[in-house]
Amino acid sequence: MREYIFYFLALVSIISALMVVFSRNPIHSVLYLVVCFFSIAGHYLLLNAQFLAVVHVIIYAGAIMVLFLFVIMLLNLNKESEPHKPAIIKFASVISGCLLVLVLVAAMINMDPPAGSHPSLHNVGMVKDLGKYLFTDFLLPFEISSVLFLSAMVGVVLISKKES
């Protein structure tokens, strides 16, 4: 049963990722990316990482994608304004993408990672354990990320402000 759910989610995520790249309309790309993120959240659930699945849906599908949609609608991008590339470049990029898959698979085919036990035997993905890690071992990165957000916020306001 778990296997079938994995293969279904993998199929959904690969097809929607391909549709992100190949669809002409930028809004369709964003919507397919939302589907892809939901399927990746399903993978996280399957790996018993519940907290990350929820955070992933809230931040990616809820915040980042809304930002993308907002910018696309603000700039009024649609199918007509989409720049066209010559077919040879499309062909070349598909070929190079397939070659990258080939190279990475060839590099990892002899890899033998330590076969750990099944994820359902661990409870590392629960919010209780992750919170304990976050506020003990990872306290410094946690605080630094708040500084990062503050600087990003100031930078974004400064960049996107109209020069008068």
Partner 1 sequence: MIALQAIDIASNPVNKYVYLAVILFSIGVMGVLMRRNAIIILMCIELMLNAANLLLVAFSAYNGQAEGQMVVFFVIVVAAAEVAVGLALLISIYRNISSTDINLLNRMKG
Q: Report CA 29 to chain centroid distance, whole Å.
A: 13
* Best CA proximity match to 152, nearest among 163, 144, 164: 144
Q: Interface mask (CB under 8 A) for partner 1, residues 132-151, using x and -?
A: -xx--xx--x---x--xx--
Record the tokens describing residue 98, joined without a space. 């397939």
35 counts as binding partner 1 under rule CB under 8 A: no
Nearer to partner 1 by Cβ, of 1 and 89: the residue is: 89
Give Cβ neighbours of residue 94 (< 8 Å, ≥ 6 apart).
none
User: In terms of DSSP H, where are the helices of the chain?
Assistant: 2-22, 26-46, 50-56, 65-75, 87-108, 127-134, 139-160
- Binders in 60-119 for partner 1, by CB under 8 A: 60, 63-64, 67-68, 71-72, 74-75, 77, 81-83, 85, 89-90, 92-94, 96-98, 100-101, 104-106, 108-119
Applying CB under 8 A, among 33, 38, 57, 61 the residue interacting with partner 1 is 33
Q: How many residues bind partner 1 (CB under 8 A)?
A: 85
